[in-house]
Structure 1
Amino acid sequence: MGRIGELRRSSPLALLVGVAAASVGVIYGYDLSNIAGALLFIERDFGLSAAQQEMVATATVIGEIGGALAGGWLANAIGRKRSMVAVALGYAVFAVAGAASTSVSTLTVARLLLGVTIGVSVVVAPVFVAESAPAGARGALLVTYGVATVIGIIVGYLAAYLLAGAGNWRAMLGLAAVPAVLVAMLLARIPDTARWYLLKGRVDEARRTLRRIEPGVDAQRELDEISRTLREESSGGVGVLREMLRRPYLRATLFVVTLGFFIQITGINAIVYYSPRLFEMMGFHGDFALLILPALVQVAALVAMLVSLAIIDRVGRRPILLSGIATMVAANALLVAVFAGGEVFGGAAAAVKFGGVLLFTVGYTFGFGSLVWVYAGESLPARMRSMGASAMLTSDLVANAVVAAVFLTMLTSLGGAGTFAVFGVLALASLAFVYRYAPETKGRQLEDIRHFWENGGRWPPEDLLEDIATAEAPA
């Protein structure tokens, strides 16, 4: 609970930034689940085959890839805040366009464009929070975005259930425009980050923002440190992308790209996008079972993420991430066993399958779901941060597109046991990768994290860090 206290002691502006970014997460989460519910009724209206359902779901993810690729550039060009305002307004427009669709093709195009706005948001939001949060509360504020995403998923399933009686999928999709407009209005009240202002040479605005974020901080010292870091990173006229692909930051780039891929290829959004179909295969029927049971799974996931939020800046990033992935591995093993030998479980087979899905989702949200935003915001130095987040989330979304495009086909061809065996192997591989390569960034200033990569993927001894800090301090 100590880090919850850190949140309470944060400045009003830092809390407002966290709330604004979290609100974007609610919109993202709502879309993830409400399309799952809407597909039940879109299928009936448009006569969708399984392949067409995969196409509608995958169109959004393909748009997200485009948005993630552009997100880093956009955040540097027009600012973190303006990018997020554009995201919220764009989401409102394309949510309404999706609701007004008259054919599969127009729905697919609307979903593609909506995906672009989501892709920008998943890159810019963690950078915005990481650069605006005090070090002691940064991890908690970053996890808050993930918490909000899970809340959005729950709300999406509940909205789908409440509208299921009328089969009104247009209302399910269109309602998202209302919170999107409200979020845009909230974001308009917030300044951009001090680091972005310095990138653009707007020193006075950077100083004012720092003093509002951390009223007791030595603003000039912080500005000098950020400016020195930016000068180092831009020396020699080397472009940001070239800098990310050369030593010492090549290791950091490979880490975030691979981590991003593992976060989605292990299968979480297969469960979110296709929960009603999966639960049908598990033996459940009716609107309540197909829409409320997935919501209950997400409620458990929300509890897990809140626990992660409460302890992340005390326990650290690595223990949370490793234990979450280990839980996913155990859940996959359980699902393989019950799908392969359901007769052994008798009448309890459906309940055990439900328990396996719940355990998998809880493990994911406790680990990957919480930490994706933290590592996206913390892993690279300031000049490369938005581009690094863009590369990580692009990799994440490519894996998401693969899963969205093949999950129903996998269930049909491999069955439940084969499908979850594949996800289990991928979860084991991700566990080994995180154990070997993930840095522990708990309590580190953003400007200090570069020393981990500059030292070959190991933290230098504390006395050496102190010597570095003394040598780099302004005279």
Structure 2
Amino acid sequence: MKLKVSNGLIYFFGALGGLLFGYDTGVISGAILFIKKDLNLTSWTEGIVVSSILLGCMIGAAISGGLSDRLGRRKVVLMAATIFCIGALGTALAPNTWVLIFFRMVLGLAVGSASTLVPMYLSEMAPTAIRGALSSLNQLMIMTGILLAYIVNYLFSSIEGWRWMLGIAFIPGLLLLIGMFFLPESPRWLLKQGRENEARSILNQMRKGRGVEEEIDEIKLANQLEQEQGGWKEVKERWVRPALIVGIGLAVFQQIIGCNTVLYYAPTTFTNVGLGASAAILGTVGIGIVNVIITAIAVMIIDKVGRKPLLLIGNAGMSISLFVLGIVNALSGPTAAASWTTVICLAVYIAFFSLSWGPVVWVMLSEIFPLSIRGIGMGIGSVANWLSNLIVSLTFPKLIEQFGISTMFIVYGIMGVLAFLFVSTKVSETKGKSLEQIELELRNKSLEKNRMDMPHFLNK
């Protein structure tokens, strides 16, 4: 029997996986400066150490969605929290490069699971009117985790303490493990399992008794439409295809517009334009602060402005800052002016990313898939995201060595323009709609398209 906990604690502990996600992906940006020297890494082994977590992320994202559809969201988050703790200790104590790479992959299992489950859990627990804000709480926690990683990196940079940087992730991992013991299961998942009384009890607690029966009826209707389907069979259905295209497209574009080259390699970028190691890490702390502040603003406005407008605004700002960054560095070289331009442009880029593609992509991935395959759909989107992340992160050090940092940022700017066109033509707004309404609209659009595709005489 779980203790009754407040909505605030449910949302906080539900999103704590996001903080671990952010810390474990962000901490390597500063730690790699000292790991590289301590373990004598080449540009390729540097890329492998940074990106090895992403291979684990792909596996975690691939299996956690389907597992959560079978076992429940809460149990799989508990498993992920345990792996977070093991991975944090393993990376901190690694005696050599290959053991470090192995435990970075183990850690990735938990990070990939968190990327799938946290936004899904929050979206299924949240009332429609504030679902975007609560789902965005995951991204706010990710950015807070990244900022925390940058601060820890700076504090331990004077002693080159990369093991401490990596090991401190054990503390929030343990908090998540303890907290999840007291959190309820997703009522939508419980209804899917036929456990209506448990779902009603949780919804009554969270909604204070308001609109509970209507919400249950809506979920039941969606379940009825899906009762003969589910699993990979439904993923292949024609009516689900638009959601898959949007989900995979958003997940891939979030990475190839360069976001994680900024997060993982910001100190490396700063040292390339003339800053020292401590100054470079301190520069990333400033970027991390911008990150958190702007993400907090995004949480407040996403349910007012909408998902699609934020994506488009973000694309414009990010692409412009990348083009300016690339051109200025190409023309001026490693000068003081170039250093400050780099800091300012990366801060502007991160501000627009934190306002848009950071929170909105994960919110939309948690909204657009039907309930019966939401776990699998989130898994597919997350795998696409982590695969793109892996390719970008693994190749970035070598590509900088080959083509220079200016060319790379211009290429990412061009990707931003392509992402703008994708959102304009393929993405539909989900603001103000319940998860069940989004699903019914997806079904109805497919039926309408089927009717339009029929020969004219059959439509009469």
TM-score with structure 1 setting the length: 0.90
SS in 1 for 2:429: coil
Q: Give the conservation status (yes or no) of the 8 Å contact 1:80–1:124.
A: yes
- Give matches, 1:257-276, under 5 Å: 257-276=248-267
Alpha-carbon distance, 1:335 to partner: 1.1
Work out which of the residue numbers 82, 87, 93 in structure 2 matches 1:94: 87
The alpha-carbon distance between structure 1 residues 161 and 334, as it changes in their structure 2 partners (threshold 3 A), is same
Work out which of the residue numbers 407, 432, 453 in structure 1 matches 2:396: 407
Work out which of the residue numbers 208, 211, 226 in structure 1 matches 2:204: 211
Partner of 1:190: 183
Please state if 1:381 is matched with 2:364. Answer: no
Distance 1:367 1:393 in 2: 18
Cα root mean square deviation, aligned: 1.9
Alpha-carbon distance, 1:232 to partner: 0.8
Partner of 1:277: 268
Please state if 1:434 is matched with 2:423. Answer: yes
Unpaired runs of 5+ residues, structure 1, are 1-10, 461-475
Work out which of the residue numbers 304, 307, 311 in structure 1 matches 2:294: 304
SS in 2 for 1:254: helix
Q: Give the conservation status (yes or no) of the 8 Å contact 2:150–2:288.
A: no
Partner of 1:52: 45
Q: Give the conservation status (yes or no) of the 8 Å contact 1:153–1:295.
A: no
Distance 2:43 2:276 in 1: 18
Q: Percent identity?
A: 28
Q: Give the conservation status (yes or no) of the 8 Å contact 1:452–1:459.
A: no
Deviation larger for 388-397 or 15-24: 15-24
SS in 2 for 1:356: helix
Distance 1:329 1:270 in 2: 14
Please state if 1:367 is matched with 2:356. Answer: yes
Partner of 1:471: none
Alpha-carbon distance, 1:451 to partner: 3.3
Distance 2:311 2:288 in 1: 19
Alpha-carbon distance, 1:241 to partner: 2.0
Deviation larger for 117-126 or 446-455: 446-455
Distance 2:146 2:211 in 1: 40
Distance 2:248 2:346 in 1: 27
SS in 1 for 2:238: coil
Q: Give the conservation status (yes or no) of the 8 Å contact 1:129–1:141.
A: yes
TM-score with structure 2 setting the length: 0.93
Partner of 1:397: 386
Alpha-carbon distance, 1:216 to partner: 3.0
Partner of 1:334: 324
Work out which of the residue numbers 72, 78, 90 in structure 2 matches 1:85: 78
The alpha-carbon distance between structure 1 residues 258 and 91, as it changes in their structure 2 partners (threshold 3 A), is same
Please state if 1:247 is matched with 2:241. Answer: no
SS in 2 for 1:341: helix
SS in 2 for 1:334: helix
Distance 1:262 1:456 in 2: 25
SS in 1 for 2:22: helix
List per-residue Cα deviations over 1:351-374 (Å, max 9, x = no partner). 112211111111111111010221
Partner of 1:141: 134
Alpha-carbon distance, 1:225 to partner: 2.1
Unpaired runs of 5+ residues, structure 2, are 450-460
Alpha-carbon distance, 1:149 to partner: 0.7
Q: Give the conservation status (yes or no) of the 8 Å contact 2:203–2:209.
A: no
Q: Give the conservation status (yes or no) of the 8 Å contact 2:230–2:372.
A: no
Distance 1:158 1:364 in 2: 20
Q: Give the conservation status (yes or no) of the 8 Å contact 1:376–1:389.
A: yes
Q: Give the conservation status (yes or no) of the 8 Å contact 2:5–2:182.
A: no
- Give matches, 1:174-189, under 5 Å: 174-189=167-182
Partner of 1:21: 14
